[in-house]
Amino acid sequence: MATPVLSATEPLPQREAFHEAKGLAESLPDLLMEARRVANTILAGWHGRRRAGPGETFWQFRPFVSGEPASGIDWRRSAHDDHLYVRDTEWEAAHTVWLAPDLSASMAFRSRHAGASKRDRAAVATLAIAELLARAGERVGLLGASKPILSRNAPEKLSRLLPAAGGTELDLRGLRQHSDLVVVSDFLDGMDAIEARIAAIAATGARAHLLQVVDPIEENFPFGGRTEFVDPETGERVTVGRAEAWRTAYQQRLAALRDRLRLHARRLDWTFIVHRTDRPATEPLLALHARLTDRGLRRHAHALRVAAP
């Protein structure tokens, strides 16, 4: 049986849930702006995912190809010169992507080596993904807190719901087969609890993308001498005389947890990405956006095969 992974933290005062939610709500305007900056950085180097296909929105005129049905010819455009043109519409097969950020008390941790707290980085990642997906015409929802939203201003709508959402327990009632779920967490709850959530998600038929957000000292374990560790969820305190003696065992346990998560991800065709808060927020989102986009293009190719006569 897997033993829980120790989450090493510097002393952190226990806060009430109300104050946690209030603090998050006050920081959301800045976090939303940061999420937009991250999304714009990603899209600046992205060629987009627009494709011709079933839909009502005009995309482009292109030359008529011999063998195509004549019903596809746009005669008004073709009358302007000596060539025949087909009017393509943009593919509009909106997909549902659910977002599940962990904004619990343990995610509020930030060491002096980090660029942001784990909670703030999880919120930025969630809103940046919502921004990217909204621009791509996908439906985006906050798991357990909203219905899927098909709107360009989906990030703003979801940001207002974040303070009341974001626990480690996932409400999977809205999750359906063929949808995607992005879970942003530190995944330091212990392997038994994590595997129970993985099994519950897999049973819905959805595909999950797991983004593990950690503070650099949670990987490096730089502690030495007499050190007090505090569980920010329960307030429980553990004092050790020689913290450096725990380093090897802790790092081995963390590596074992990640190996298990990668194994589950490969088996289920999911995604598992690790992100440290001393690194730019764009790094994991580039990989995640590519994964979601790749899946969208595969759905599109399948739809075209099904629609083909």
d(CA 71, CA 120): 53
- Close Cβ partners of 302 (under 8 Å, ≥ 6 residues apart): none
For residue 18, the 8-state DSSP code is: H
* pLDDT tens by residue, 44-59: 544 344 455 544 455 5
The pLDDT, as a whole number, for residue 4 is 40
* Least confident range of 3-17, 57-71, 126-140, 240-254: 3-17
Report the pLDDT value the prediction gives residue 273, as an integer from 0 to 100.
Answer: 95
**CB 293, CB 48: distance < 8 Å:** no
Element (H, E) at 273: strand 271-276
Question: What's the farthest any 2 CA atoms get from each other in the chain?
Answer: 87
Cβ atoms < 10 Å from Cβ of 173: 9
**What is the per-residue pLDDT across 78-133, written as a single tens digit (0 to 9) for each?**
888 888 888 876 554 568 899 999 998 889 999 999 989 999 999 999 999 998 88
How far is it, in rounded angstroms, from Cα 137 to Cα 296?
11
- As a whole number, the mean pLDDT across the chain is 80
Reading phi first (left if > 0) and then psi (alpha if -120 to 50, else beta), residue 285 is in alpha
Residues of the chain with CATH 3.40.50: 17-48+94-307
Task: Collect all residues with Cβ–Cβ distance below 8 Å to 274 and sequence separation of at least 6.
Answer: 212, 214, 258, 284
How are beta strands 58-63 and 85-89 bridged, if at all? Answer: antiparallel
CATH code for 17-48+94-307? Answer: 3.40.50
Grade residue 233 by pLDDT with cuts at 50, 70 and 90: confident
pTM for the model = 0.73
